Chain A
Amino acid sequence: MDIKIRVYAPGFINHDAIDPDGFINLEEGDSLGVLYRKLKVPLPLRPILVCSVNYERAKLSTKLKDGDVVSFLFPISGG
């Protein structure tokens, strides 16, 4: 069964798999690591990218569920 994940990924990550509304389809039981592969996150970056699932820290082995929000750290400058 497909699950739909909202992804906020910076521009240096491949967006081909992300639809215009910011969602990506995975299979039930897929982990954050599978998402990383689908986004083609460069291997050297995988251990150091700061990423959260539903605003909680997550490991690459974390299983994703339908409706989860995956957010990558991206600095906003200002002030």
Chain B
Amino acid sequence: MKGYTGKILLVNLSSGDIHDELIPDSIYENFLSGVGLGAYILYNRIPAGADPLGPDNILGFVSGLLTGTPSFVTGRWMAVFKSPLTGGWGDSNCGGTLSPAIKQCGYDGIFFSGISKELVYLYVDNKGAELRSAAHVWGQDAVTAEENLIRENLKKKKPAVAVIGTAGEKVSLISGICNDGGRIAARSGGGAVMGSKRLKAIVLVGSKLIGCQDPQTMKAISQEYASKVRKQNLPAVVSGSFLPLMGKVMGGMKRAAPMDGLISALLLKRWGTIMNNTLGVTSGDSPLKNWGGSVVDYNRSYYKNLNPDRITNVEIKKYHCYSCIIGCGGVVDVSQITHGEFSQTHKPEYETCAAFGGLVMNKDLNEIFYINELLNRAGMDSISAGGTVAFAIECYENGIITKEMTDGLELNWGNAQAIVALLKKMIAREGIGDLLADGVKVASRKLGPQSSLYAVNAGGQEPGMHDSRPDPVLGIHYSADPTPGRHTIGSEQYYDVTHLWEKVSWAPNSGSYVKADENIPSEKVALKSVANSCYKELTDGVGGCMFAMVTGVNHWKLFEWVNAATGWQKTPDEFMVIGKRIQTLRQLFNVKQGIDPMSFKMSSRMAGEPPLLEGPNKGKTVPIEAMMHLHWKAFGWDEQTGIPTQETVTQLGINELCTEKVQ
């Protein structure tokens, strides 16, 4: 074996047919596994104009090429599908324990087409796969359903389960797919696709071995990486109180420079992503008050309540995802906080804290804990839910949504009880919740053009909790990636820590530079964003975690690991061609589905139009259209339209590899 299994499982939910399909080595060598394999399958097999909630959509669960090999931090899985939220390519990414379970069943991916007549789940073990009735778990939240499915399928090995909650069952376009007790592959509306297929869950109980060509070399690389990460520990004297000051210093920097991303592991080990809760507010990274406010609004009297120490003080255990040595996960005790309704919840991620903290002007941390578990169980994307709630509040403030429409809820900034009540309506699709359950773009269309200013989105997807105004390259990825609104694709900050230029011949060396230069469209900035995109697709093709990616190519040695796993002898430049091919195929998917790439341009507020008048992002604007054009040009796509050129398609060999030809 070469890290990958060479096989996928195809399930036709309409006919009930289930069979294996062998995938040639050449596909892995040109697309890797993970999102690359997913792009290859979906681009060729989903017809143009397919209804994302119809039988022609294909939902895939894919593992990474390195998952299960002696590599580290390569345990991510991805859901791939045509997104009902954006109308184009959709993928969402999650950790936990599901990724190796897919390969231990003997497959690199499991793909569902059609729509089941009955409510079903898929069960897979070493002997094969079968559809079973899910009627008894339909209507249960994701955590409860997972527990029940594990209990009824437990023999020798604990099953790994991916499941939708009630939000996915009700086809909320901002619902995701959950695993491991409320972790969620949240973005792009995968939960709605799964719910539309009447597929409640997949239950995986395989135990097949995952092989690779050169395990000794892989282990040596892994041991070196682990040794470095283990040594990164924050001195005990450093508390969360330092973080706002650190953020203020970061936000005021006039210069930037490449940094050593490995060192940031010590912050993740101490706090996880919540290390950005207060730092992000003072630095300008966190969008506040529906992207229209600043730290002047969400000042210290607010953000001090989100000090990450307050969260880790109730942390009862830490955990690592499969193959991870950083370990940013945790479980917190919320039994005293949630009046007994929930006993525990996953430590809320920064995204959730920010979406239900500064974005909606809430300072009640206890309600954030409650919201975290509520949304994890419902299987609803907390980023999109927070963005939608912020939209609703601003509409309420401006009289577009009335108290009559909310059944008496007073949607004021920071009214945490009203926010919780509104979320419950969204999950249940009751009253105004039905209008809001599909995100801001759908809601705005229904409320009328006067609401569009408040519907902050890129291509229909609510953006992540990272402001593009201090990091314009983030804005490029929000707008120009085939999955718009994603904060995990790339940014100037991510680029500066990956150190791609030390291995990839065409990746620009950041060097030390004036920060304001990031706001000037240039070919150098475009090359950085392209390099970042390509490398992120490789990361998603191997099952890598973004937090490992940002420790840098000299530490988390993706290229070397893949060569050792597969026996290939590719150079970093050759790998980046694979990344470019995957990204180009994702873009071609969108073109095939009728997407105008420029329509994914992010909302004007995200670009600083009009600019903020206060705070660290005061006056900052992002010349996003110009940057999108240069990004596309640097990719070898048409500079004006964003459509991959025939020349690029030919260079990448896409027509030779794919059954669907680009004319």
Residues on A facing B (Cβ under 8 Å)? 8-12, 15, 18, 20-22, 48, 50, 52, 55-57, 69, 71-79
Q: How many A-B residue pairs have CB under 8 A?
A: 112
For B349-360 the 0/1 string (1 means CB < 8 A from A) is 111000000000
Query: Which positions in B face A, CB cutoff 8 Å?
Result: 228, 231-232, 234-235, 238, 242-243, 246, 249-250, 252-264, 266-267, 273, 275-276, 279-280, 283, 285, 328, 349-351, 466, 487-488, 491, 493-494, 497, 509, 511-512, 515, 546-547, 550
23 sample A-B contacts, Cβ–Cβ < 8 Å, listed by A number? A8-B259, A8-B263, A9-B259, A10-B257, A12-B253, A15-B255, A21-B511, A22-B511, A48-B242, A50-B266, A52-B231, A52-B263, A55-B228, A72-B259, A73-B263, A74-B250, A76-B259, A76-B494, A77-B280, A77-B466, A78-B350, A78-B546, A78-B547
Q: Is the CB of B260 within 8 A of A8?
A: yes
**Which of A11, A20, A77 has most chain B Cβ within 10 Å?**
A77
Query: In the complex, how many angstroms separate the beta carbon of B272 from the nearest chain A beta carbon?
Result: 8
**Chain B min CB distance to A76 (Å):** 5
Does A71 lie within 8 Å of B253, measured CB to CB? no
Q: Which one of A18, A56, A71 lies within 8 Å of B260 (CB-CB)? A: A71
- When distances are taken between beta carbons in the complex, the residues of chain B under 8 Å from A55 are 228, 231-232, 262-263
Q: Which of A8, A20, A71, A75 contacts B250 (CB 8 A)?
A: A75
CB-CB < 8 A to B550: which residues of A?
A: 76, 78
The smallest C-beta distance from A51 to any residue of chain B, in angstroms, reads 9
How distant is B21 from chain A, measured CB to nearest CB, in Å?
34
Which residues of chain B are near A79, meaning CB under 8 Å? 273, 328, 349-351, 488, 546-547
Interchain CA distance A22-B497 in the complex, whole Å: 13
Chain B positions within 8 Å of A10 at CB level: 250, 253, 257, 259
- Asked if residues B511 and A20 are in contact (CB atoms below 8 Å), the reply is yes
A15 adjacent to B257 (CB under 8 Å): yes
Given contacts A73-B263, A74-B263, 19 further A-B contacts (CB under 8 A): A10-B250, A11-B512, A12-B250, A12-B255, A21-B509, A56-B231, A57-B231, A71-B259, A71-B262, A72-B259, A73-B266, A74-B260, A76-B261, A76-B497, A78-B276, A78-B350, A78-B494, A78-B550, A79-B351
In the complex, how many angstroms separate the beta carbon of A10 from the nearest chain B beta carbon? Answer: 6
Please give the distance in Å from B607's CB to the nearest CB on chain A: 19
Does A74 contact B280, Cβ atoms closer than 8 Å? no
**In the complex, what distance in Å separates the CA atom of A79 from the CA atom of B352?**
9
- Give every chain B residue within 8 A of A71 (Cβ-Cβ): 259-260, 262-263
- Say which residue of A18, A72, A77 sits within 8 Å of B350 (CB atoms): A77
Q: Check A77/B276 contact, CB under 8 A, given A9-B257, A72-B259, A72-B263.
A: yes
B276: chain A residues at CB < 8 Å are 75, 77-78
Question: When A11-B253, A69-B260 are in contact, do A78 and B509 touch as well, CB less than 8 Å?
Answer: no
CA gap between A75 and B350 in the complex, in Å: 13
Contact, CB under 8 Å: A74 / B259: yes
B351 neighbours in A (Cβ, 8 Å): 79
Residues of B within 8 A of A20 (CB): 509, 511-512
Residues of chain B contacted by A78 (CB below 8 angstroms)? 273, 276, 350, 466, 487-488, 491, 494, 546-547, 550
Q: Which residues of B contact A22 (CB under 8 A)?
A: 257-258, 511
Asked if residues A77 and B285 are in contact (CB atoms below 8 Å), the reply is yes
Minimum CB distance partner of B232 in chain A: A55
A20 CA to B510 CA, complexed, in Å: 9
8 closest pairs, A vs B, by CB?
A71-B260, A8-B260, A11-B255, A11-B253, A15-B512, A79-B273, A77-B276, A74-B259
Give Cα distance in the complex from A63 to B273, angstroms. Answer: 34
A77 / chain B contacts, CB cutoff of 8 Å: 276, 279-280, 283, 285, 350, 466, 493
